[in-house]
Structure 1
Amino acid sequence: MQIQTQGNSTTALIVGASQGIGLEFVRQFIQNNRAQRIYATYRNPQAEILTISDPRLRCLQMDITEEAQIANVVEEIKTETSVLNYVINCVGVLYEGAMQPEKSLRQLNSEQLLRYFQVNSIGAVLLAKHIQPLLKHQQRSIFATISAKVGSISDNHLGGWYGYRASKAALNMFMRTTALEYKRSCPRAIAVTLHPGTTDTQLSKPFQRNVPPEKLFSVERTVQQLLMVIDQLKESDSGEFFSWDGDRLPW
C-alpha cells in the first residue's frame, strides 16, 4: 500500500529502536503525533518495540552491520513512501559480552576495535548511503545520528576507551562528510550528530557510579531534549555536532 506523503503527512525512520533511546524516540513520536508513519528497526526478535501496537508503526528487523539488510529495509520503505522527514539512528555499542571499553593500550585487540567501528561508525554511513533517495524532496528533513562527547578529539583529556572514542570520532567525520554531499544531492536534508548526555540505559549502566544524579538523564528527558535540539536545527547547521542542550561541540 502506498502511504500518502503529501500535505501535512510526515514520515520517520528510527534505527535501533529495540530499547533505550531509540525505543523512547518511537514512543514520543507516537504520543506527540509527530509522524503519520513511523518505521522502526530492531535486531533482537524479543525486542520491546514489538510489544507496541499502533497503526502508524511498522517494525523492520535489521542489523546495521549488514549492508544487505540496510538495503532491504530501505527498499521495503520505498514500497510505501518516497519521502522520509526524520531519520534518527540510535545504534551504538560500548560493551558487549566480554567486550569492555579499554583502559590501557595493553587491552587493545583488533577484533574488538573492528566491532566498535562496524557498529558505531560504518553502519551509520552505509545507512546514509541507502537512505539518500528518500531525502531527495522539497520538505525539510533530518538525518540525526547519536554520537558521544567522548568522540571529540579536542575534548579528550582523560584517555582510555580507545575503540569507543575512535569509532565515535570516525562517526562524526562520516556524518560531516555525508552532510557536505547531502547539501548537493538533498539540499533540504540536515545531517547532524548528537550527544545525548549520560542516559539511564543498558549502555551506561556499568558506568553510572560516578555520575552525579543531576547529570544522569532518564530516557524520557534525553529524548525530549534531543527533539528540542532537532526542532531548532537550520539548514546551515548540517554537518555539525550538537550536545543535548543545543551547544555546538568541538571536533
Structure 2
Amino acid sequence: MKDIAVVIGATGGIGAALADALEEEGAFANVHRFGRHGDLHSLDLTEEATIAAAAASLPDDQKLSLVIVATGMLHDRDRRPEKTMAALDAQWMVDNYRLNCVGPALVAKHFLPRMPRDSRAVFAVLGARVGSIADNRAGGWYSYRASKAALVMTVRNLAIEHARTHKRGIVVALHPGTVDTRLSEPFQGNVAPGSLFTPDRAAMQLLDVIDGLNVGQSGKHIAWDGTEISG
C-alpha cells in the first residue's frame, strides 16, 4: 500500500495547490486535506482539540510520510503589519504568534508521533524569509517577523527531538517566495518582476525541494530554490 500525505491549510492558495499537485502526481494512496473552512476535515489551528482529532482520524495501517502545514497570517480585513513601534498592539502580536507559530507547533505535537520510524518522512511548515534575523535589514512587520522567527526556532527544536526516535525523519521550514494569494495581495506592488509566483508554480517548486531533502537538512529553513536561509 502506498503512503499517505496530509496538507493542513488546504483551503488557502498554496495549500490547495499543494494538495492538487500531490494528487496529480499519484505517489500517495491518499492526500488528506485539512482546513478551517470548506468541504474539508475541520482543523482550526487555534483549537488543539481539532488538531488532535484530525491526527487521530488518519488510518493506522498506512504510513504518514508527508505532512505540510501551509498556513500563515500577515494581515486581516482590519489590520496590517506594523511599520513602526508606535503601531505595536499586544493582541495583534498574540494573534500572529497563535497562527504562525503556536498552531504549527501543536500540529507537530499530534502528527509527528504518527510518522514512521523506519522510513523517510517529511514534516514541513511554511516559513518566510522575513523571519530571518540575519536577513532583516528593513525592520517593521514586527509581529509577523517575530512569529515566523519563532516558528523557525520551533522547527529546530522539533527536528532535534524527532531525530532521537525517527532517524530518517525530516522537519523543515520552507519559504515559498512571494505567491499570488490573499496573504500577499496588498503588498505585491513592491515585488520585482518575475518574482511573484502563481500558487501552482509555488507548489511545484516546494514539492521539488521536499523531494530533494536529506536528513542533514532537518531543522533548517529552506527557500523555494533549495537554498538555506540563515537564522
User: What TM-score do the two structures reach when normalised by structure 1?
Assistant: 0.89
Aligned to 1:71: 52
State the alpha-carbon separation in 2 of the partners of residues 185 and 171 from structure 1: 22
1:185-204 counterparts in 2 under 5 A?
185-204=165-184
Aligned residue for 2:6, secondary structure, equals strand
Q: How many pairs are equivalent?
A: 231
State the alpha-carbon separation in 1 of the partners of residues 160 and 152 from structure 2: 13
State the alpha-carbon separation in 1 of the partners of residues 208 and 65 from structure 2: 16
Aligned to 1:241: 221
**Amino acid in the other structure paired with 1:70:** I
Q: Which has the higher contact order (CA 8 A, sep 6+)?
A: 2
Given candidates 61, 66, 90, the residue that maps to 2:42 is 61
Aligned residue for 2:33, secondary structure, equals strand
The Cα shift of 1:229 comes to: 0.7
Which one is further off, 126-135 or 140-149?
A: 126-135
Deviation >6 Å, runs of 4+: none
The Cα shift of 1:134 comes to: 1.1
1:38 aligns with 2:19: no
Kept in 1: contact 2:3–2:62 (CA 8 A)? no
1:21 aligns with 2:30: no
Given candidates 139, 142, 167, the residue that maps to 1:159 is 139
The Cα shift of 1:82 comes to: 5.2
Aligned to 1:212: 192
- Cα RMSD (Å): 1.1
Q: What percentage of aligned pairs have identical amino acids?
A: 39
**Amino acid in the other structure paired with 1:190:** I
The Cα shift of 1:136 comes to: 3.5
Question: Where do 5+ consecutive residues of structure 1 fail to align?
Answer: 1-5, 51-58
Aligned to 1:55: none
**Amino acid in the other structure paired with 2:54:** V
Kept in 2: contact 1:64–1:70 (CA 8 A)? yes
User: What TM-score do the two structures reach when normalised by structure 2?
Assistant: 0.97
Given candidates 3, 10, 34, the residue that maps to 2:3 is 10
Kept in 2: contact 1:195–1:242 (CA 8 A)? yes
Given candidates 133, 137, 141, the residue that maps to 2:121 is 141
State the alpha-carbon separation in 1 of the partners of residues 164 and 117 from structure 2: 12
1:99-138 counterparts in 2 under 5 A?
99-138=79-118
